[in-house]
Amino acid sequence: MEINQFNSNNEKHGYWETYFINGIIHYKGNFINGKQNGYWETYFINGNIAYKGNFYNGKQIGYWELYNPDGNIAYKGNFYNDKQIGYWELYNPDGTINWKVYYIL
């Protein structure tokens, strides 16, 4: 599989991976004509996941999880067109739920 390719308009296209200078992956996911599309993962420089979720046409959509640098979950919920929607949960450092909120577009 070829990675880190550009289309004829010099836009990122296809599967991409980038790495920090220490060799740890920074992000991985797909672009279509320069816009993020599909499932993405982004990492902290220590190698722990920072967030994971889906993009459509460069905008966050669907279920997302965001993490603290120590690897514990910080937030989780849904996006629609880059905006939070529905139930979201915020977690304490010990993994217990701090609060829940419901977003309406």
For 60-87, what is each residue's pLDDT tens digit? 999 999 999 999 999 999 999 999 999 9
**Residues spanned by the domain of 69:** 5-103
Instruction: Look at the chain and report how many structural domains it folds into.
Output: 1
Measured between alpha carbons, how far is 65 from 30 in angstroms, rounded to an integer?
18
Amino acid at 48: N
Q: Render pLDDT for 25-58 as a digit per residue (tens, 0 to 9).
A: 999 999 999 999 999 999 999 999 999 999 999 9
pTM equals 0.90
The CATH number given to whatever domain includes residue 15 is 2.20.110.10
CA–CA separation, 12 vs 96, rounded Å? Answer: 39
